Amino acid sequence: MEAVFDNIRVVLVRPKYGGNIGAVCRAMMNGGLTDLALVAPDPQADWEDARRRAHSAVDVLDRACRVDTLQDALGDCAAAAGTTARPGLYRAHATTPREFAPRALECARANRVALVFGPEDKGLNNRELALCTDLLRIPSSGLYPSLNLSHAVYVCAYEIFMASGSFEPEGEPTGDAAIEQRERMYALWREVMAETGFAEPEKIDHMMMGLRRIFSRGRLSDNDVRILLGLARQTLWACRRRDGKNGA
Binding residues for a copy of itself (CB under 8 A): 5, 19, 23, 26-27, 29-32, 34, 55-57, 87, 91-96, 98, 137, 139-141, 143-148, 150-151, 154-155, 158, 161-162, 166-167, 169-173
Instruction: State the nearest-atom distance from the C-beta of 118 to a copy of itself, in Å.
Output: 16
Instruction: State the nearest-atom distance from the C-beta of 207 to a copy of itself, in Å.
Output: 24
Counting beta carbons within 10 angstroms of the beta carbon of residue 226, is it exposed (0 to 12), middle (13 to 18) or buried (19 or more)?
A: middle
Partners of residue 37 on adjacent β-strands: 11, 65
Q: CB-wise, 9 or 137, nearer to a copy of itself?
A: 137
Q: How many CB atoms lie within 10 A of CB 98?
A: 17
Q: CB-wise, 32 or 41, nearer to a copy of itself?
A: 32
Per DSSP bridges, beta strands 65-67 and 35-39 are parallel
Q: CB-wise, 68 or 168, nearer to a copy of itself?
A: 168
Instruction: State the nearest-atom distance from the C-beta of 177 to a copy of itself, in Å.
Output: 14
88 Ramachandran zone, left/alpha/beta (phi>0; psi -120 to 50): left
Q: CB-wise, 173 or 247, nearer to a copy of itself?
A: 173
Instruction: State the nearest-atom distance from the C-beta of 204 to a copy of itself, in Å.
Output: 29
Instruction: State the nearest-atom distance from the C-beta of 155 to a copy of itself, in Å.
Output: 6
Strands (E), 61-174: 65-67, 77-83, 112-117, 134-136
Q: How many CB atoms lie within 10 A of CB 245?
A: 8
Instruction: State the nearest-atom distance from the C-beta of 29 to a copy of itself, in Å.
Output: 4
Give CA angle at 188 (244, 177), nearest 5°.
150
Contacts of 51 (CB under 8 A, 6+ apart): 22, 58, 61
